[in-house]
Amino acid sequence: METQKLTDYERKRLENIRRNDEMVAALKLQAMATQLSASTKRQSNRAATKSYKTSPQKKPKIETPIVMRRSLRTRGMPPEAKGLDDDLVESVAKIHKPLTPAKPGASRVWGPLNMEEAYTGSGSDRELIETLVGIGKNSGVDTSVGVEFGSVKVCKDEISGNLVKREGNDGGSCLKLSSLTLNPENIARVMPGRIMAVRFLPCNNSRMIVAGNKLGNIVFWNLDSKGEGEDGIYLYHPHPGPISGISVHQHCLSKIFTSCYEGVIRLMDAEKEVFDLVYSCEDTIFSLSQQPNNANCLYFCEGYGGLSIFDRRTGNCPTKWSLHDARINTIDFNPGNPNIMATSSTDGTACIWDLRSINADKPKALKTVSHKRAIHSAYFSPYGRSLATTSYDDNVGITSGVNFEETSMIHHYNQTGRWISTFRAIWGWDESYVFIGNMKRGVDIISPVQRRSVFTLHSPHMSAIPCRFDAHPYNVGMLAGATSGGQVYVWTLLQGS
């Protein structure tokens, strides 16, 4: 039954892949073209917000295969005369030719991919690798597994101890919103295309950003790098398609997991200098997450509504649940209890689960939050008391109470359209505020207690809509926002406040 279904999916997909062989090969070219174009990267300095330089000759070569590919795959048929006419087909054929004899289908490397091979920059990435290895060493618990939940909690409290009030008093954060500033030197166009995920390395003495885009690139931006050559920006191309998730475990900083729509999860290991292949499947992987107390298990959405748990120690997926009727957009764990998991889905529901008591046949959620439209995120607050959901129905939902029994809906315009990545409200450094982009090139700061937007970050330096965010876990006030044009903005707390 289930397996039959799977084989159907697989067959269909394999067939598509076969038909798309040329396109896949062309994607290899994309990687190469990106490499080539990356040589121009150095021309744009960090503060330049206007253009990500790509050489004009290569541009069509990069773009064309994507168009073809999508068209074939989405419709399951050869390109029609309408938009994809002979010019394009020809150009693909031309590009395709020299590549085929060498390595057919080489764009999908089913094994470890050296960082060197994946690196698209022209300068050296040595500084980055050394930095990452150094950070990993400092974290000290690189190999440890199953860190007790208690330490997580302590850690969270420590984070907020300095600048943000510690407990109770949910409405009274010490974070001065008016002190959040966007300094031009903290703006960079770090990669081409649309950024789908952005993350700070969870390290208290570094300011390192990792981001992934729709083209399968992963970029590192070291804001502390005074490096002359590369501006602290290092671009890789480890995946053939959109990056759906980035996960860096707080106790395992030199190892970075990335997932991709093409059904692949890789682990970038700075010490081994590879993007290791961790997992691959024939279904789309829409989201990726890890429990805060376990660096060895990966939780990810596989296909439509499926949640898989992969254990690196055994190398297989002991668990596959069908939790939703449509794609799961986010997976998050309660910082106060890592057995409590929240999923958000395009099926219009966000669910809170207890991992210890999920019935594989009939999974029953502890709590279901319903929206009228697709839900794009569901994140627990830093102390795990509330859940923030963001939906296409133009609401940010705040669900709280001892059993998450109360939900209040706060209106927020979330019609991002097709070209902007969907909005996802994230929590700041305590339970006081939630941050979410708006369509007017600003960042709305919502107070769950006041049930309204209480502040909006604006800046003349923001030339695009920030749609994906991350808050630096150790650095209060440091907020990264990423755009659909490859830019990253990093707000910081004004000195002396």
- Is position 435 an interface residue for DNA (rule: CB under 7 A)? no
321 or 392: CB nearest DNA:
392
Name every residue whose Cβ is closer than 8 Å to that of residue 86 and which is 6 or more positions away in sequence. Answer: none
DSSP state for residue 430 in the 8-state scheme: S
Burial pattern 239-273, b for ≥16 Cβ within 10 A else e, equals bbbbbbbbbbbbbbbbbbbbbbbbbbbbbbbbeeb
What tokens does 212 get? 């992934």
* Contact mark string toward DNA, 189..228, x via CB under 7 A: x---x--------------------x--------------
Nearer to DNA, 202 or 437 (CB): 437
**Which one of residues 167, 419, 494, 497 is an interface residue with DNA (CB under 7 A)?**
419
Rounded to whole angstroms, the Cα distance separating 303 from 289 reads 15
- Identify which range of 31-39, 228-236, 410-418, 452-460 contacts DNA by CB under 7 A: 410-418
Which residue type occupies 136? G
Q: How do beta strands 479-483 and 487-493 pair?
A: antiparallel
Question: What stretch of H or E contains 260?
Answer: strand 255-260
**Is 153 one of the binding residues for DNA (CB under 7 A)?**
no
376 touches DNA (CB under 7 A): yes
Establish if 422 lies at the interface with DNA (CB under 7 A): yes
DSSP letter (8 states) at residue 119: B
Tokens of 312: 């690196």
Query: With binding defined as CB under 7 A, does residue 74 bind DNA?
Result: yes
CB of 392 to DNA, least distance (A): 5
Least distance CB 344 / DNA (angstroms): 9
Minimum separation from the CB atom of position 484 to DNA (A) = 5
CB closer to DNA out of 270 and 350: 350
Judged by CB under 7 A, the residue of 19, 373, 451, 461 near DNA is 373
Contact track, DNA, 467-486, x by CB under 7 A: ----------------xxxx
The number of beta carbons lying within 10 Å of the beta carbon of residue 339 is 14
What are the residues whose beta carbons fall under 8 Å from the beta carbon of 312, sequence distance 6 or more? 278, 296, 297, 298
Candidates 110-118, 229-237, 295-303, 411-419: pick the segment binding DNA (CB under 7 A).
411-419
Instruction: Assess 69 for contact with DNA (CB under 7 A).
Output: yes
Tell whether residue 350 is a contact of DNA (CB under 7 A): no
Cβ nearer to DNA, comparing 189 with 468: 189
Residues in the chain: 497
Comparison of 203 and 374: residue with beta carbon closer to DNA: 374
Looking at 168, 315, 417, 496, which residue binds DNA (CB under 7 A)? 417
How many residues belong to the site for DNA (CB under 7 A)?
49
Select the span of 231-239, 400-408, 419-427, 451-459 touching DNA (CB under 7 A): 419-427
The answer to the question of residue 144 lying near DNA (CB under 7 A) is: no
Does the footprint of DNA cover residue 24 (CB under 7 A)? Answer: no
> Which residues 263-282 are close enough to bind DNA by CB under 7 A?
none
**SS3 annotation, 155-172:** HHHHHHHCCCCCCCCCCC
Q: Using the rule CB under 7 A, is 232 a contact of DNA? A: no
3-state secondary structure 349-412: EEEEEEHHHCCCCCCCCCEEEECCCCEEEEEECCCCCCEEEEECCCEEEEEECCCCCEEEEEEC
Residue of the chain from 230, 231, 262, 444 that contacts DNA (CB under 7 A): 262
Smallest distance from the beta carbon of 38 to DNA, in angstroms?
13
Q: Which residues of 23-53 are buried (b: 16+ CB within 10 A; e: fewer)?
A: bbbbbbbbbbbbbbbbeebbebebeebeebb
Any contact of residue 237 with DNA (CB under 7 A)?
no
Contacts of 424 (CB under 8 A, 6+ apart): 330, 376, 377, 379, 390, 436, 468, 469
| Of 51, 144, 314, 450, the one binding DNA by CB under 7 A | 51
CA distance 135 to 259: 22
How deeply is 106 buried, as exposed, middle or buried, from its count of CB atoms within 10 A (0-12, 13-18, 19+)? middle
CB of 475 to DNA, least distance (A): 25
Q: Shortest Cβ distance from residue 65 to DNA (Å)?
A: 9
Question: Is residue 392 at the binding interface for DNA, with CB under 7 A as the rule?
Answer: yes
Place of tokens 């084989």: 7
Phi/psi of residue 100, nearest 5 degrees? -55, -50
CA-to-CA dists, residue 395 to 389, 418, 440, angstroms: 8, 18, 17
Contact 328, 259 (CB under 8 A): no
Using CB under 7 A as the binding rule, whether residue 343 contacts DNA is answered as: no
Considering only residues 6, 278, 358, 439, which one is a binding residue for DNA as defined by CB under 7 A?
A: 439
Contact status, residue 225 vs residue 231, Cβ threshold 8 Å: yes
Residue closer to DNA, measured from CB, 21 or 157: 21
- Indicate whether 164 belongs to the interface with DNA (CB under 7 A): no
Min separation Cβ 121 and DNA, Å: 17
Q: Site mask, DNA, residues 240-259, x = CB under 7 A?
A: -xx-----------------
Residues that bind DNA (CB under 7 A): 50-54, 56, 59, 63-64, 66-67, 69-70, 73-75, 83, 189, 193, 214, 241-242, 261-262, 284, 327, 329, 346, 348, 373-374, 376, 392, 415, 417-420, 422, 439, 441, 463-465, 483-487
